[in-house]
Amino acid sequence: MTAIALRPLLVSGSLLVLAAFVPVIADGYWLSIAVTVLMYAALSTSWALFSGPTHYIALSTGAFFGVGGYLVGLGMSDYDQSFWAMAALAPFVATALAALIGWATLRLSGVYFVIFTLGLAEMIRNLISWVQNNFLGSRGLYVLTDLDERHIYWMLLAITAAVFCFGWWLGRSRLGFALRILGNDEEVARHVGINTARTKIVMFMTTGFVAALVGAVVAPRYYYIEPNVVFSPELSFIVVIMALLGGTRRLYGPLLGVIPFTLLWEVISVSFPNATTMVLGLTFLLIVYGIPNGITGLLSGLAAWRRA
Partner 1 sequence: MDILISGLLLGGTYALIAMGLTLQYGVARIMNLANGEVLVMGALASFLVYTSLAVSPLVTVLVIAPLAFALSWLVYRVLLLPLVRRAKNQGQLEVDSILATFGMGFFLVGVMVFIYPELFAYSYLAVPVDLAGTTVAANRLVAFAGAVVIGLALYVWLNRSRAGMAVRAVAVSPLAAGLVGINVERISALAFAIGGMITAMGGVLISTFITLDPSFGVIFTMKALIIVIMGGVGDIRGAIVAALILGIVETAVATLIDPGLTLAAAYTIFLLVLLFRPEGLFGRRPA
Residues at the site binding partner 1, with contacts judged by CB under 8 A = 55, 57, 104-105, 108, 110-112, 114-116, 118-119, 122-123, 126-127, 129-130, 133-134, 233, 237, 244, 274-275, 277-285, 287-289, 292
Nearer to partner 1 among residue 107 and residue 151 (C-beta) = 107
CB of 172 to partner 1, least distance (A): 26
Which lies closer to partner 1 via its Cβ, residue 166 or residue 265? 265
Asked if 23 contacts 32 with a C-beta cutoff of 8 angstroms, the reply is: no
Partners of 293 in the beta sheet? none
CB 95 → partner 1: shortest distance, Å? 19
Task: Give 107-111 contacts, CB < 8 A, sequence gap 24+.
Answer: 107/197, 110/55, 110/56, 110/57
Nearer to partner 1, 91 or 246 (CB): 246
Separation between Cα atoms, residue 204 and residue 64, nearest integer Å: 11
Query: In whole angstroms, how far apart are CA 247 and each of 45, 48, 92?
Result: 10, 8, 29
Between 168 and 284, name the residue whose CB sits nearer to partner 1: 284
CB of 87 to partner 1, least distance (A): 27
Give the 3-state secondary structure percentages of the chain, helix then strand then coil, rounded to 5. Answer: 80, 0, 15
Closest distance of CB 231 from partner 1, Å: 12
Compute the least distance from the CB of residue 112 to partner 1, in Å. 6
The neighbour count for residue 183, using CB atoms within 10 Å, is 16
